[in-house]
Structure 1
Amino acid sequence: MTRPQIGFGAFISPLHPHGENPTLQLWRDLDLVRWLDELGLAEAWIGEHHSGGWGTISSPEVFLAAAAEHTRHIRLGTGVTSLPYHHPFHVASRIVQLDHQTRGRVMLGVGAGSAPGDAHMLGIHPSEQRRMTGESLEAVLELLAGEGPVNRATDWFTLRDARLQHRPYRPGGIEVAISSAASPHSMQLAGRHGLSPLSFASPRPGGTVPDLRRQWQYAEEAAAAAGRTVDRADWRLVVNVYVGESREQALEDLREGAAAWLRGYFGDIVGLPVDALGIEPGREIEYLVETGTAIIGSPDEVAAGVEELYESSGGFGTLLVAGADWASRENTRASFERLARFVVPRFNGSLEGFEASAAWVRENRSEFVTQAVGAFQKAFTDAGVTAPSLPVTEPAGAGSR
C-alpha cells in the first residue's frame, strides 16, 4: 500500500500541571525542542499564555530565540501569537528579527487567543477577538510584504507611514500560519490571504470531533473567492499522540497526567463540565482515546491511527504532536524517539529504497547464493586444493529472476 507523505513536528502549548518549579518547566520545554531537533522532526511550535497557571510561556518569540541557539535544523514557530494582544507593528518587527536570528527557520503562527483570562486582563471582549484578528492580520501581512508604507487606523491600533527596516531573511518571506478550531473564521482567513491552516484535530473534552473535511472546504471556498488556491500540503493538524512499547504500557504511562489535564485544567481551571461526562475516575485516558482526542499505542497502532486521520480529513501535510505534559519527562522523550524511529519513516519515504532493495535481493537470492558458493569453491580449485562441499539449499519461498 502506498502511504501518504506526511511531515511530523510538535505543538507545545505548553500546559504544565501545578506543583513543579516553573523555571525548570521552561528548561524542560527548551530541552524537549533540542531533543526533537536531534531526532530530526521538522517543526516545533510554542504557544502564548498569560493566565490560568498551566501555560508557562508568555512570549513565544523570546523562547524561540533561545531554542534557536540550541538547535540546528528544526523549524520554529509561534504557536500561536495572539494578534489581539499586540500591536501589529510589533508582531511583524519581532518575527522578522527572529527570522534573521534563526537564518530563516522561523514561522509566524497567529490566532485570536483562546484563554478568556488573557483577553480580560487586556480589556478585550471575546466577541471582538475575531474582528481584531482579521484587522491585525491584514496589517501584519502588509508590513511583511514591505512594498511600501502602511497606513491603517482602527479603534485599537494606528499605523502611520509604517515600514520595517528589516526584510525577511529569505526571498520567499516568512511562512504565516493561522490556527483553527471549529468555526469557519480562521480557515476562511487562510484561504483569503494564502496562509497555512493549522487545525486542532481533537475535540475539547465533551465536544464533538471537528469536521475536518468541511474545515478544508471553508479554506477552498474563501481562496476561490479571492482568486487563490490552497494546497493540502500546507495544512497542519494538531493531535495528541503517544507512542509506547505497547498500548497497555502507553495507557499506564499517561493515566495520571491525562486525568490531571482533563479534570485539573479543563475541569477545575477552565470550568468545562468534565464531571458531567460520566467518565469513570482513573479511566480518563481511555475516554480521550475513545473520543478521538488522542492517538495512543504501539508504533504500529499509532501509524494506523495517523493513516486513519489522513483518510478521514481528506489529506494534510504535517502532523503536529500536541505537547500536553501527560507523561513524565523520560517517557515523553521516549515516545518522541519511538515516533521518529518507527512511525515517521513510514510516512516520509525514507524506507522505500531499503524495502525495494530487500525485495530485490530476496527475489534473486537463489542465484546470488549459487554464484557465491561457486566463487568460493573456485578459489580452492585455483589454489590446487580440493574444495569443501557446501550444501546449497533453496530457501523457503525463494524466487528466481
Structure 2
Amino acid sequence: MSTDKLRFGMFLPPYHARNENPSLALHRDLWLVEHIDRLGYDEVWVGEHHSAAFETIGAPEMFIATAAERTRHIRLGTGVVSLGYHQPLMLAERINYLDHITRGRVMFGVGPGALPSDAAMMGIAVEDMRPRMEAALDVLIPLLRGEVVNAEAGWFTLRDARLQMMPWTRPSVEMAITAMGSVNSAIAAGKYGLGILQFQSVGCFPMTTLPAMWNVVQQTAAEHGQTVDRSKWRLVLQMHLAESRQQALEDCRFGFEPWVDYFRHISALPLPPEGTRGDALPQAFVEAGTAVIGTPEDAITAIERHLADTGGFGCVMLLAHNWANSRATAESYELFARYVIPHFQGLNINREASIEWVIERRRQEQAQHGFDRASKS
C-alpha cells in the first residue's frame, strides 16, 4: 500500500425523510460540511439525484460551489455525476470552473446513474445508462486535460471541442467512479485509470468481494496500459458513534426506519426481514456486520478489519445517513475525529514518546538522587 496516511471523509447522498423541511435539510447539509471541515476531515463527496424524494441534491456542482465559499481545507467531490444525463462539454466546463474557483479542491466522481426513475424522466433507457457513461468518459478525460476532442456518440456531438481555460489541477482534476458491488464499475475504473468509491455494504447486504474487486481494477488497468493506486480506493462505511453502544442505538431511533423504508421501496435492496421494524432495525444491521453503531473503539476495530481484509485502501468515507438527529450526528463526527482519526494517522506517536521519555528521565533522576543520598550517609 502507499505510504500516504489514511484519509477520512464523508459521502453525502444526501438522505432526508419526507416529513421534514427540504430547504432546511439542504442548509443542514451545508452546515455539516462546514462542521467536518473544522474537524479536519479530508474530503466530502456529494450525490446527484432527481426523483424518489429522499436524495434531494440535483446539482452537486452548485452545492460544491456554495460549500467551497464556506470551508477552508476540505476537498469537495461530485459523488457522483450521472454522466448520461449531461452534454459532456458543458459538464467539463462546470467541473473545470470548480477546479479554478476552489484552486484545486474539487474532485470529479462519475457513474451511470443510480435511480432508473431519473433516467425515465429524461427518456433514457436503463440499458443505455452505462454505455452513455463510457462514451462520456472517452471525451471528458481528454477535455479536462485541455485537449481538443472530436466525437459522435448518437446523443452528443463534439467538433473541435475544447475548454476555454486549461485546468487548474494538472494534468486534470482527480476522477473516481462509484461501485455498489457490480464488477462493471471495477472494470471501468481500471480501463480509464480512475479512483473508485467503493461501498463496503449497501443497506444490510455486505460486500464480501472487496479484494476481488480491487484485483479486477488492477488487471483491467494493466490490460489498458493504465496505472491505479490503492490510495485512490475509497471505502464507504455505515457508522454512527456515541459515548456508549446503548446511546448510539438510542440515537438511531430518530431516522433509521425511514432510511430503511426508502431502500426497501425504491432500491429493492436485501435489507433485514420485512418484519424487522423500529428499534430492532439498528441492532439487525450491527449483527449483520454491515454497520458500526457504537463507540470509537468499535469503529477502530471495524476499520482495522477492513484494512486487513482488503490489503489496504486510501480513504474511509462515512456515509451521511441522518440516522440520528442533528446534535447526535454532529457529535458522532466529532467523536470519530477526536479518537478514530488519530489512531490511524499516528497523530499521537510523538506525544506518547514524549511522556514515556519524561517518565523514564524522572525515574533515572529519582534513582540517581537515591544513590547520592545513600553515598552521603
Matched, 1:317 2:314: yes
Report Cα offsets for 1:159-215 as digits up to 9, x if no partner. Answer: 11100011111334210011111111111121122111111111344x442410111
- Report what 1:17 is aligned to: 17
Report Cα offsets for 1:122-179 as digits up to 9, x if no partner. Answer: 11111111111111111100101223x2011012111111000111113342100111
- Report what 1:78 is aligned to: 78
Question: In the alignment, residue 238 of structure 1 is paired with which amino acid?
Answer: V
Asked if 2 retains the 8 angstrom alpha-carbon contact of 1:48 and 1:80, the reply is yes
- Report what 1:225 is aligned to: 223
| Distance (whole Å) between structure 1 residues aligned to residue 306 and residue 98 of structure 2 | 33
What is the percent sequence identity of the aligned residues? 45
Secondary structure of the corresponding residue to residue 218 of structure 1: helix
1:313 is displaced (CA, Å) by 2.1
Secondary structure of the corresponding residue to residue 131 of structure 1: helix
Alignment of 1:62-211 (within 5 A): 62-147=62-147, 149-205=148-204, 207-211=205-209
Question: In the alignment, residue 256 of structure 2 is paired with which amino acid?
Answer: A
| Distance (whole Å) between structure 1 residues aligned to residue 122 and residue 288 of structure 2 | 34
| Distance (whole Å) between structure 1 residues aligned to residue 354 and residue 91 of structure 2 | 50
Asked if 1 retains the 8 angstrom alpha-carbon contact of 2:150 and 2:160, the reply is yes
**Stretches of structure 1 lacking an aligned partner (at least 5 in a row):** 378-388, 390-401
| Distance (whole Å) between structure 2 residues aligned to residue 81 and residue 107 of structure 1 | 11
| Distance (whole Å) between structure 2 residues aligned to residue 231 and residue 245 of structure 1 | 36
Alignment of 1:331-342 (within 5 A): 331-342=328-339
Question: In the alignment, residue 307 of structure 2 is paired with which amino acid?
Answer: Y
Asked if 2 retains the 8 angstrom alpha-carbon contact of 1:258 and 1:284, the reply is yes
Cα distance change on mapping 1:355 and 1:30 into 2, 3 Å? same
Moved more, 295-304 or 28-37: 295-304
Secondary structure of the corresponding residue to residue 99 of structure 1: helix
Secondary structure of the corresponding residue to residue 240 of structure 2: strand
Asked if 2 retains the 8 angstrom alpha-carbon contact of 1:202 and 1:292, the reply is no
Asked if 2 retains the 8 angstrom alpha-carbon contact of 1:45 and 1:77, the reply is yes
Question: In the alignment, residue 224 of structure 2 is paired with which amino acid?
Answer: A
Cα distance change on mapping 1:61 and 1:23 into 2, 3 Å? same
Question: In the alignment, residue 308 of structure 1 is paired with which amino acid?
Answer: R
1:262 is displaced (CA, Å) by 0.6
Secondary structure of the corresponding residue to residue 253 of structure 2: helix
Asked if 2 retains the 8 angstrom alpha-carbon contact of 1:13 and 1:46, the reply is yes
Moved more, 296-305 or 358-367: 358-367
Asked if 2 retains the 8 angstrom alpha-carbon contact of 1:49 and 1:56, the reply is yes
Matched, 1:366 2:369: no
RMSD: 2.1
| Distance (whole Å) between structure 2 residues aligned to residue 275 and residue 340 of structure 1 | 30
Alignment of 1:3-14 (within 5 A): 5-14=5-14
Moved more, 282-291 or 15-24: 282-291
| Distance (whole Å) between structure 1 residues aligned to residue 280 and residue 339 of structure 2 | 27
Question: In the alignment, residue 175 of structure 1 is paired with which amino acid?
Answer: E
1:260 is displaced (CA, Å) by 1.6
| Distance (whole Å) between structure 1 residues aligned to residue 221 and residue 317 of structure 2 | 24
Pick one of 236, 245, 248 that aligns with 1:247: 245
Asked if 1 retains the 8 angstrom alpha-carbon contact of 2:74 and 2:105, the reply is yes
Matched, 1:238 2:254: no
TM-score by length of 1: 0.88
Cα distance change on mapping 1:94 and 1:27 into 2, 3 Å? same
Question: In the alignment, residue 342 of structure 1 is paired with which amino acid?
Answer: Y
Matched, 1:285 2:282: yes
Cα distance change on mapping 1:212 and 1:277 into 2, 3 Å? farther
- Report what 1:349 is aligned to: 346
Answer with 1 or 2: which has the greater Rg.
Answer: 1
**Stretches of structure 2 lacking an aligned partner (at least 5 in a row):** none
| Distance (whole Å) between structure 2 residues aligned to residue 145 and residue 153 of structure 1 | 19
Moved more, 265-274 or 284-293: 265-274
1:4 is displaced (CA, Å) by 9.7
- Report what 2:259 is aligned to: 261
Secondary structure of the corresponding residue to residue 79 of structure 1: strand
Matched, 1:34 2:34: yes
Asked if 2 retains the 8 angstrom alpha-carbon contact of 1:203 and 1:292, the reply is no
Moved more, 355-364 or 43-52: 355-364
| Distance (whole Å) between structure 2 residues aligned to residue 231 and residue 319 of structure 1 | 15
